A = this chain, B = another copy of it.
Amino acid sequence: MSQNYSFQHFTVQFPAEYPYVAHVEINRPDKMNAFFEAMWLEMKQVFEKLSEDSNVRAIVLSGAGKAFTAGLDVKAASSGPLFSENDLDPARAATIMRRHIAEFQDCITAVERCEKPVIVAMHGFALGLAIDLSTAADIRICSRDVKFAVKEVDIGLAADIGTLSRLPKVVGNYGWVKEIALTARVFGAEEALRVGFVNSVHEDRQATINAGLKLASLTASKSPVAVQGTKEILNWSRDHSVQDGLRYTGVWNSAALQTKDVSAALLSGLQKRTPTFEKL
């Protein structure tokens, strides 16, 4: 299967021991997995493909080498539209930037839009874009050694590809979010666990990835109708009132409950068997 998933900056694997689980790895280890434009455009493709691949029910995202990602490749960016010298007036320059930011945001949002749960396994450096990216995922875990930072104010800008919109909805400690974002200070695994930014901390990179794969495998063993509905409804509810959440849920489930998975799950439960579910 993996032959269809050959990308330039990402490896996508399907570990035999974890059925229905895809393992995506950012693969630019010599540059600490720093991102440039071609990478985020490709990442969008990766997650759009996984989103509709009926062989995939959960995804782990990690980084190759010493870091999850050191963030934006500033050197590469400095030759991009944000920094290029031109003689556009500021209004016209703003149009170019708005388009650029919108496209960049959309690539990050591809992770959120992906219909399957995404678990991010972080280690080493996880700076700037790493936070934007991980808050678009469903679950975050990390290794003991990780160094996190909402780094953007250190390079003179407000984070604009997701952190400022999503982090306050991921972590229920708004004062901490403000401090972290206004000072760009580094924080570690223990602090991340305490404030709820990550779900668990693991020994090292490999242990983190293994924990991610195991967790992915657990959710992948459930009905995909139930799991994908759960992700979608939780994301919708985050952005809507409780009443709108309930109504959307009712409409969603009016179709989703008409699945054979319910009886399959119930029967397996009674028979103490592991249920199997049709592809979705």
Q: Which residues of A contact B (CB under 8 A)?
A: 52, 74, 78, 82-83, 88-95, 97-99, 101-102, 105, 109, 112, 117, 138-140, 152-160, 162, 164-166, 168-179, 181-185, 195-199, 215, 218-219, 222-223, 225-234, 237-266, 269, 275, 277-278, 280
Contact = CB atoms under 8 A, between A and B. Distances in A.
B94 A256 contact: yes
B196 A175 contact: yes
A250 to B, nearest CB: 4
Given A175-B196, A241-B239, A158 B229 contact: yes
A279 B60 CA distance: 45
- Label chain A's interface by main secondary structure: helix
Given A237-B164, A242-B238, A183 B222 contact: yes
B242 A154 contact: no
A80 to B, nearest CB: 11
B245 A101 contact: no
B239 A243 contact: yes
A41 to B, nearest CB: 15
A129 to B, nearest CB: 14
Contact of A159 (B215, B230, B263): B230
A232 B171 CA distance: 18
B237 A156 contact: no
Contacts of A102: 247, 250
A105 to B, nearest CB: 5
B185 A258 contact: no
B218 A153 contact: no
A228 B251 CA distance: 13
B182 A280 contact: no
B179 A253 contact: no
A219 B250 contact: no
Given A101-B249, A140-B175, A92 B259 contact: yes
A178 B265 contact: no
Contacts of A182: 117, 138-139, 219, 222, 227, 230-231
Contacts of A231: 178, 182
Given A223-B153, A257-B91, A258-B90, A158 B230 contact: yes
A106 B155 CA distance: 34
B139 A175 contact: yes
Given A164-B230, A173-B196, 15 more contacts: A91-B280, A95-B228, A101-B254, A117-B182, A155-B269, A157-B226, A158-B230, A158-B252, A175-B196, A176-B196, A178-B234, A183-B219, A184-B222, A243-B243, A248-B248
